[in-house]
Structure 1
Amino acid sequence: MMQLAVVGAAGLVGQSVLELLAQRQFPAERVFAVDGPEHEASTVSYGNLELDIRQLDEFGFENVALAIFVAGDSVAREYVPQARAAGVTVIDFSSAFRLDAEVPLVVPAVNAEQLAGLEAGALVAVPNCTVTPLAMALRPLLPLQPKRLTVATYQSVSGSGQKALEELAEQTTALFSQRESENTVFEKRIAFNVLPQIGALDEDGMAEEERSIMLELRRLLQQAELPIEATAVRVPVFFGHAWAVSLEVAADIDLVQVKNRLVAAGLQCVTADQHGGHITPMEATGNDGVWISRLRKAGNTIQFWLAADNVRVGAALNCVLVAEAMYKAGVFE
């Protein structure tokens, strides 16, 4: 059996990765929780165990076969090369390597073939948590010949980390108590509000999150020329993302066939007589489903509402599924 490290273990995604590794009984002899100095002397849960958090700048990567990085761009750029130099296979959940042509960008339900032939010491990038569920929903529809994708995302504050959760909670309490509150994570108040920009704007007026959606989706789906119009919105929800999706296709649309394709790909399709006709981000949180509801068509456009747990399904589960696929392929032997 192998040993592995989770780097960024104290964060929301890191904790979810550890939870899933334990729940799914990943065959690791030992798991190390690794994070920065702000988490010194802290512990995190791994199944029934409490793991001491090891300091990243002191951690010996030569002790593990696999490192799952969920610690952000700057940490990945500095420490992923160090880990690989020690012969460690790395799965990275950050934007540092997602668009690197030499690094496979993988969602096993979408493009598992990208993992074929990888050896120990390989680096695999996993997409933005907003991209993964969307790619899973679009992959079964590729035979219908997509012509244009228009998507609006409604993204919970957990996508910005623990401090964002605390800011929403504090602002909500302050407003009910008629107290002033500060904006520290977000530029404008998030409580009882929506923020129609996630990340800095480029010279074309496209926000960082919107460009991430466009570029990562095109790469995952191997649709380099697909027009993608994305609007990313932060909403005052703690957990769970949602997407309003419109996909124009060249082929004739048979909604029964569309639903069958989605179900065959493992997605949860809710009909008008189930769950009140739709699934909300709250209902999607805490489970492994990628939920589709409000499925309909307008001319040659397929429209639907998508919801998923951004931390668990959009981020952590994909990291663990990649690790499982690599283990089954014998990468760590």
Structure 2
Amino acid sequence: MSQPFAIAVIGATGTVGETIVQILEERDFPLSELHLLASAESSGTSLPFKGKNLRAREVDAFDFSRVGLAFFAAGAAISRSFAPRALQAGCSVIDLSGAFDHQQASLLVPEINAAQLAGRSAPLLLSNPGSAATALALALAPLREVLDIQRVDVTACMAVSTLGREGVSELARQTAELLNMRPLEPRFYDRQVAFNLLAQVGTPDEHGHAPQEKRLVSELRELLALPLLKVCATCIQVPVFFGDSFSISLQTAQDVDLALVNKRLDAAPGVELVDAGDYPTPVGDAVGQDVVYVGRVRRGIDDSRQLSLWLTCDNVRKGAALNAVQVAELLIKGHV
């Protein structure tokens, strides 16, 4: 791996930012310096790293010329404000907020499209997909060569951590209130989420499509290099702290060879195929793990050109933070 160099993590005190810091330590990322940056409200918070406590500082006054790479995990507004400053200072950026379109920032999942980095040099602006698109693309990319996929229908069951600490805190608080027979007062969500299902994540547009759904459709097409792929996505909020799950149905142009599909999934990097007759769950399998679990692989009941799958993965770890660190590992091999 390359010589050590300096990195900044913006949004270091959030759920994804903290996990990036944790993974950098776990994977022994070659660091000379690690700068933790946050908003004024969160500055001063300390995070453990390699036996020390590092204190987060305000991002506003940071000099990005001090680092070669910055992870932006603090929301789209922060990315739009500070990523251009970082690039101008010669610092490459990995953005996790979805703030930039695909013409501005290349969308990367290393197991799928690492070749996009070939011939490019720093400073680079790269985009980490949303956790849902990462999980789906990892499972579907291995099938492109054996299936002519015409349509994807997906119901994404999204953990409350998709919306950060506020979502996690709200589910914990509501659960405690209900279990202690106290009146429930929704705060972060507009209604009860504990022991319930909410039919949308975020505020829909005038056509009824929520931001998470539109981002999922756009990013999945980009990652699969299928710009005309028909995708129908519904994102629902489920009372799970960590771990997204997905029910997927593919319509293909030919009969599905189930044995070949299973063979491809079993060999795919970043994917763990669960044995037939069993199925994975977020709590029992995915949380804390570095793969996307795939189960319930089956053809349609009355349509041999239909394929259905069940996926689950740790949305904060595999879906977001680990993918970003894997992109960084590619960058330091010759691009920054």
**TM-score category by the smaller chain?**
over 0.9
Structure 1: gaps spanning 5 or more residues? none
- Aligned residue for 1:306? 311
Q: Map of 1:240-255 to 2, 5 A cutoff?
A: 240-255=243-258
Match among 263, 268, 274 for residue 270 of structure 1: 274
- Aligned residue for 2:138? 136
How far did residue 91 of structure 1 move?
0.4
- Aligned residue for 1:115? 117
Q: Map of 1:79-158 to 2, 5 A cutoff?
A: 79-97=82-100, 99-143=101-145, 144-158=147-161
How far did residue 22 of structure 1 move?
0.6
CA distance in 2, matches of 1:120, 1:184: 43
Superimposed CA distance per residue, residues 5-51 of structure 1 (whole angstroms, 9 cap, x where no aligned partner): 01100000001101111100111111111111111221012232211
Summarize the Cα distance change of 1:259–1:331 in structure 2 as closer, same or farther, 3 Å threshold.
Answer: same
Partner-residue secondary structure (3-state), 1:224: coil
CA distance in 2, matches of 1:179, 1:70: 35
CA distance in 1, matches of 2:207, 2:315: 27
CA distance in 1, matches of 2:71, 2:298: 39
How far did residue 79 of structure 1 move?
0.3
CA distance in 2, matches of 1:264, 1:19: 28
Normalised TM-score (structure 2): 0.95
Match among 163, 178, 192 for residue 189 of structure 1: 192
Q: Map of 1:151-230 to 2, 5 A cutoff?
A: 151-230=154-233
Q: Is the 8 A contact 2:252 2:306 kept in 1?
A: yes
Partner-residue secondary structure (3-state), 1:110: helix
**What is the identity, as a one-letter code, of the residue corresponding to 2:89?**
A
Q: Is the 8 A contact 1:7 1:14 kept in 2?
A: yes
Count of residue correspondences? 327
How far did residue 53 of structure 1 move?
0.6
How far did residue 252 of structure 1 move?
2.6
Partner-residue secondary structure (3-state), 2:60: helix
Match among 55, 60, 64 for residue 57 of structure 1: 60
Q: Is the 8 A contact 1:15 1:45 kept in 2?
A: no
**What is the identity, as a one-letter code, of the residue corresponding to 1:306?**
L
Q: Is the 8 A contact 1:152 1:245 kept in 2?
A: yes
CA distance in 2, matches of 1:161, 1:280: 21
Summarize the Cα distance change of 1:62–1:235 in structure 2 as closer, same or farther, 3 Å threshold.
Answer: same
CA distance in 1, matches of 2:276, 2:307: 16
Alignment partner of 1:316 is 2:318 = no
Q: Which moved more, 1:60-69 or 1:264-273?
A: 264-273
Match among 35, 39, 45 for residue 36 of structure 1: 39
Q: Is the 8 A contact 2:104 2:125 kept in 1?
A: no
Alignment partner of 1:236 is 2:239 = yes
Q: Is the 8 A contact 1:156 1:238 kept in 2?
A: yes
Summarize the Cα distance change of 1:176–1:150 in structure 2 as closer, same or farther, 3 Å threshold.
Answer: same
Q: Is the 8 A contact 2:152 2:248 kept in 1?
A: yes
Partner-residue secondary structure (3-state), 1:130: helix
Superimposed CA distance per residue, residues 258-280 of structure 1 (whole angstroms, 9 cap, x where no aligned partner): 0111122121111135xxx1110
Q: Is the 8 A contact 2:37 2:43 kept in 1?
A: no
Q: Percent identity?
A: 40
The root-mean-square deviation of aligned C-alpha atoms, in Å, is: 1.1
Normalised TM-score (structure 1): 0.96
**What is the identity, as a one-letter code, of the residue corresponding to 1:289?**
V
Partner-residue secondary structure (3-state), 1:271: coil
Q: Is the 8 A contact 1:279 1:293 kept in 2?
A: yes
Summarize the Cα distance change of 1:182–1:117 in structure 2 as closer, same or farther, 3 Å threshold.
Answer: farther
Superimposed CA distance per residue, residues 207-244 of structure 1 (whole angstroms, 9 cap, x where no aligned partner): 21111111111111111111101111010011000000
Q: Is the 8 A contact 2:39 2:58 kept in 1?
A: yes
- Aligned residue for 1:326? 331
